[in-house]
Amino acid sequence: MTTTPWTKARKSGGNGGSCVEMRRHGTMIEVRDTKANGSGPVLRLTSAEIGAWLDGARNGRFDHLLRNSGSNVGHYLGMRRHGTVIEVRDAKANGAGPVLCFTEAEIDAWLDGVRNGEFDHLLA
């Protein structure tokens, strides 16, 4: 089973190191919040699911979350603004799975990393 190191976007350093991290673990891509120091919830998605989400992120599908209080649930990885945080969850779990909560700056850094191809190696 292949497990890659956790990867975070280069822009995340400006958030005091708090950010979204991703890695490949076997056949799944895992997503977590660094603020939990490895003990918080982890979202597990297939390569196809995360690939579809990455494509949407590259094309600006989630940019509105950084500018207003609207909500959005993606097909695989759902994101919505809830007060001052942006929640990220496995959309297939219908609200039953873990929820990761990030600041706008943390999501902005993650989306910037996505647009720059910093997580593409996880799909190989």
Predicted structure pTM score? 0.73
- Gap between the terminal Cα atoms of the chain: 14
Q: How far is 21 from 6, CA to CA, in rounded Å?
A: 6
What dihedral do alpha carbons 123, 91, 12, 14 form, nearest 10°?
170
Contact status, residue 13 vs residue 114, Cβ threshold 8 Å: no
- Helices 47-58 and 104-115 pack at an angle, to 10 degrees, of 100
Per-residue pLDDT 10s for the chain (124 aa) are: 789 999 888 877 655 667 888 999 999 999 998 887 888 889 898 888 888 888 888 887 777 776 543 444 445 677 888 888 888 887 776 667 788 888 888 888 888 888 888 888 888 7
